[in-house]
Amino acid sequence: MIAKPTGTAARLIAAIDTGDLARAEALAASLAGRCGLLKVGLELFCAAGPPAVDAVARHAPVFLDVKLHDIPNTVAGAIRSLLPLRPAMVTLHAAGGAAMIAAARAEAERAGAERPLLLAVTVLTSIDAATLAATGVAALPSDQVLRLARLAVAAGADGLVCSPQEVALLRAALGPAVALVVPGVRPAGSVSDDQARTATPAEAVAAGADWIVLGRPITAAPDPAATAAAIAATLPP
Ligand code: C5P
């Protein structure tokens, strides 16, 4: 299992969000050594599949953000299929329930000490209170996040993907061991793109993030490697 990061660059996860495998490989090569991990998300995985993970993994450990959500037997099968790719982290939806998460964990254990961290997604940050209510969940989003986070960790998740707004709440509620991976961060002074509620990388780490995920601020920069290094330099030691 990947250890919690020591040092600043190790905290960075750059999201390689492209459907173009050649561009993904070029980005991964340029960012090798500047980030702790590289994220392969649904855009790249749906376009290029397992070879994309292999290509990116030649440069850095992979955060495979596939957000699995299905019946326990199917999610266990998906984990079994992903293990040969040796991802360092895999995501799944906490809303799939305790049995689904436990099945994923049991399957992941088959990889022994090399198993991926299982990170649960609680309430997507694109979901506000009204959208949550329309799905039949009357709770406040923050209450639902905490409920699902506790459920996921109790069922065997190693950590959570959460927004900068949730990181202090989850760290306080769940303690120091749980892994918190935080997207939706923006360097001071940069454009927010479509991220509505952002924090700076340093703020997210100060609030309790172990790793922070950045996509466009790094990948759309003229010099992604230099930009990643500059962001790492803003982090607390
Ligand atoms: O380009 P940007 O920095 O906004 O990319 C952030 C990455 O984190 C994207 O890959 C996006 O899918 C992911 N993400 C997010 N917000 C979440 C969960 C994941 O931005 N709540």
Quote the radius of gyration of the chain (alpha carbons, Å). Answer: 17
Q: What residues act catalytically?
A: 67
Tell me the CA–centroid distance for residue 16 and ligand 1, in Å.
10
Residue-level pLDDT, tens digit, the chain, 237 residues: 999 999 999 999 999 999 999 999 999 999 999 999 999 999 999 999 999 999 999 999 999 999 999 999 999 999 999 999 999 999 999 999 999 999 999 999 999 999 999 999 999 988 889 999 999 999 999 999 999 999 999 999 999 999 999 999 999 999 999 999 999 999 987 877 776 768 999 999 999 999 999 999 999 999 999 999 999 999 998
Residue nearest to atom 4 of ligand 1 (CA): 215
Tokens describing residue 184: 């939706």
Please state, in angstroms and rounded to a whole number, the distance separating the CA atoms of residues 120 and 97: 10
Rounded Cα distance between 117 and 105, Å, is 9
Global pTM reads 0.96
> Which residue lies with its CA nearest to atom 14 of ligand 1?
183
CA 230 / ligand 1 centre spacing (Å)? 20
Give the CATH fold of the 9-230 domain.
TIM Barrel (3.20.20)
